[in-house]
Amino acid sequence: MASFTLHGIPVSKGIAIGRAHLLAPAALDVKHYLIPDDQVEAEVLRLKNAIATVHQELQTIRSELPKEAPPELGAFIDVHALILSDPMLAEVPLNIIRHRYYNAEWALVTQIDGLSAQFDEIEDPYLRERKADIQQVGDRVLKVLTGSAINLPPAEGGDGATASIIVVAHDISPADMLQFRDGAFGGFVTDLGGQNSHTAIVARSLDIPAAVGMNNASALVKQDDVLIIDGDAGVTIVNPSPLVLAQYRARQERMLRDRKKLGRLKKTPAITQDGTEITLLANIELPTDSAPALEAGANGVGLFRSEFLFMGRAGHLEKFPTEDEQFDSYCQTVVSMKGRPVTIRTLDVGADKPLDEDEQTALNPALGLRAIRYCLSEPQMFLTQLRAILRASAFGPIKLLIPMMAHAFEVDQTLALIEQAKEQLRQRKQKFDEDIEVGAMIEIPAAALALPIFIKRLDFLSIGTNDLIQYTLAIDRVDHEVAHLYDPLHPAVLFLLSSVIAMGRKAGIPVAVCGEMAGDVKWTRLLLGMGLLEFSMHPSQLLSVKQEILNSDLTLLEPQVKKVLKATEPSVIEAAMAQLRTLNAEPEIKATAARRR
């Protein structure tokens, strides 16, 4: 069997070795035919029964979750149950059967395709990938309609190298992953997906090696092929040679040993070799993410993406959660963090569909009405969220983070609305933190270049490196045709990052980084050398970053980072970065730092 390599998007670190098990999407088996008039209601009933069966399946999976299961899993099952109950899936396909006479499978696929097209127009990558949840729920119903099984076979393989099963699929849902947990499920490879998909989030939570976004892996890989998933690189090796297999087995064993060592750092303070204390925070999407954040030793939450509360509501963002619903979620989060600060980012989505559906000109939602611009255009919705966050601040330390700031008047209008929300709560005699801190996401180059506007008005800053890089280089990093241009080491990006950190420190205003750079150990020393003292990342990345911090000495890093920042040629920057990664503190410095601690 010929060996070949597939390249995708890394979403969960680790190495998995096993045999391929292909899961075909149910939509591929859908037949299209018209129903006779006298059988329409029977076809409607068939779809209703399939939906009811999936509801029961999800309830069973939810009830059988083990106590030690990450809290995200239950929440994602709940989201799928909500989507399944939504009229956009529970009722519209029934009307398609009644009015167009489509068979049940065809009607369901038609509606899913229509909803998917709407999500493709959303700019925010986290929300855009929610399309996958709708498709996964639809695929589950289709499997019931077509009688397709989704259970894994028992793992086999006498050579000792294939003890695990590697699922290869067009896409895979968190619910499917839970059903596989009792088998020898070693990892998964999918054609679809990205960093922010629910499947990716669950994979990281469960430490399941995975590679997604491989386009045509499910077509190229054959049943029972031997696979190696290199989760760190997002690479899958199909039918590796004995030498490559042996090399990866050795790497796998070494990684398992290293993970055990990392676990010992949970209670160790993040202090550099020269005695500088670094704050490590967690990025979370759900209130129940607090548990893994605490387990990883996070000093608090640096980014709570509140968009999750607005998802899966009648298929549209127009139906907003109530103030009490939001308050309950924010309060649950802040209480569970046991006194550690929680930074809540206000709604970061946008009105990114054309006003006229027949309009042929494609709008650019990245530059349109989104994030704080959208919130200021919907003041009642924004006030509802602000009141909910303020009310939760009575139960623990909360910081308000405003996304996509660029203008002074946006800051002023936001602060005025926060004051209005406070006054409304005073009139209700509801408690809140009168001195709640308010900060801005620095993710637009204009904001980074006009930083005094924000330093003068706000309490803290948080750099969103994902968007800052994207806007600085004018590329969409999820567009495969230009994704290779996404470069954190571009001189313009380095200049903006370093200047924001330096100006913030000079003004005495805290600066954090909450984008992907914060959780990638490749950039830890670079950010430390720029003067960054607060990192916010996914909980699963925290211990690796902490280890890098413990092995770093700012007195050595800072001069080398200056060389990186002065360089403009890519080759010179890479050479300076390579030297930065090899810097080690002298033994006597380590001893001095140890005595300080």
Same domain, 160 and 218: yes
Same domain, 123 and 210: no
Domain region containing 91: 26-146
- Identify the bridge partners of residue 279 per DSSP, sorted by sequence position: 534
Query: Using the 8-state DSSP alphabet, how is residue 34 labeled?
Result: B
Same domain, 235 and 365: no
Name the phi and psi angles at 338, rounded to 5.
55, 50
Give every residue of the chain whose pLDDT is below 70, as ranges: 24-29, 65-73, 122-130, 148-163, 174-175, 177-184, 195-199, 201, 205-206, 311-319, 350-366, 477-481, 483, 585-597
Q: Is 198 a catalytic residue?
A: yes
Q: Contact, 533 vs 508, CB < 8 A?
A: no
Catalytic residue selected from 21, 80, 170, 198:
198
Same domain, 557 and 444: no
Give the CATH number of the domain where residue 160 resides. 3.50.30.10
Give the end of a domain, one of 146, 167, 190. Answer: 146
Characterize 103-128 residue by residue with b for buried, 16 or more Cβ atoms within 10 angstroms of its Cβ, and e for exposed: bbbbbbbbbbeebeeebeebbbbbbb
Instruction: Enumerate residues 6+ apart whose C-beta is below 8 A from 161.
Output: 17, 226, 245, 249
Q: Contact, 580 vs 556, CB < 8 A?
A: no
Same domain, 80 and 176: no
**What is the C-alpha to C-alpha distance for residues 333 and 389, in angstroms, rounded to an integer?**
11
Same domain, 205 and 77: no
Same domain, 445 and 591: no
**What is the C-alpha to C-alpha distance for residues 193 and 203, in angstroms, rounded to an integer?**
12
Same domain, 396 and 456: yes
Give the DSSP H or E segment for 87. Answer: helix 87-90
Same domain, 167 and 227: yes
What length does the chain have?
597
Give the end of a domain, one of 118, 146, 174. Answer: 146
Q: Contact, 104 vs 138, CB < 8 A?
A: no
Q: How many CA atoms lie within 13 A of 116 on its CB side?
A: 14
Residue 256 within any structural domain of the chain: no
Same domain, 466 and 319: yes
Residue 431 within any structural domain of the chain: yes
The pLDDT of residue 594 is 45
Residue 567 within any structural domain of the chain: yes
Q: How many domains does the chain have?
A: 4
**What is the C-alpha to C-alpha distance for residues 78 and 80, in angstroms, rounded to an integer?**
5
Characterize 277-313 residue by residue with b for buried, 16 or more Cβ atoms within 10 angstroms of its Cβ, and e for exposed: ebbbbbbbbbbbbbbbbbebbbbbbbbbbbbbbbbbe
Give the CATH number of the domain where residue 509 resides. 3.20.20.60
Q: Is 151 exposed, middle or buried (0-12, 13-18, 19+ CB in 10 A)?
A: exposed
The pLDDT of residue 198 is 64
Residue 259 within any structural domain of the chain: no
Same domain, 204 and 130: no
Rounded to 5, what percent of the chain is helix, strand, coil? 50, 15, 35
The pLDDT of residue 59 is 84
Q: Which residue has the tokens 């009229």?
A: 87
Name the phi and psi angles at 312, rounded to 5.
65, 30
Same domain, 200 and 66: no
Catalytic residue selected from 21, 80, 170, 514:
514
Cα separation values, 164 from 16, 19, 22, 187, 228, Å: 8, 7, 14, 8, 11
The pLDDT of residue 589 is 40
Residue 402 within any structural domain of the chain: yes
Q: Is 375 a catalytic residue?
A: no
For 545-568, how does the pLDDT look when each residue is reduced to its tens digit (9 = 90+)? 999 999 999 999 999 999 999 999
Q: Helix (H, G, I), strand (E, B), or coil: what is residue 327?
A: helix
The pLDDT of residue 383 is 97
Residue 255 within any structural domain of the chain: no
Give the end of a domain, one of 146, 168, 201. Answer: 146
**What is the C-alpha to C-alpha distance for residues 123 and 367, in angstroms, rounded to an integer?**
9
Query: How many other C-beta atoms are found inside a 10 Å radius of the C-beta of residue 1?
Result: 8
Residue 261 within any structural domain of the chain: no
Name the phi and psi angles at 462, rounded to 5.
-135, 120
Q: Which residue has the tokens 């990192």?
A: 535
Give the CATH number of the domain where residue 74 resides. 1.10.274.10
**Per-position DSSP letters for 241-266, written without gaps between them:** -HHHHHHHHHHHHHHHHHHHHHHTTT
The pLDDT of residue 351 is 40
**What is the C-alpha to C-alpha distance for residues 375 and 350, in angstroms, rounded to an integer?**
8
Residue 262 within any structural domain of the chain: no
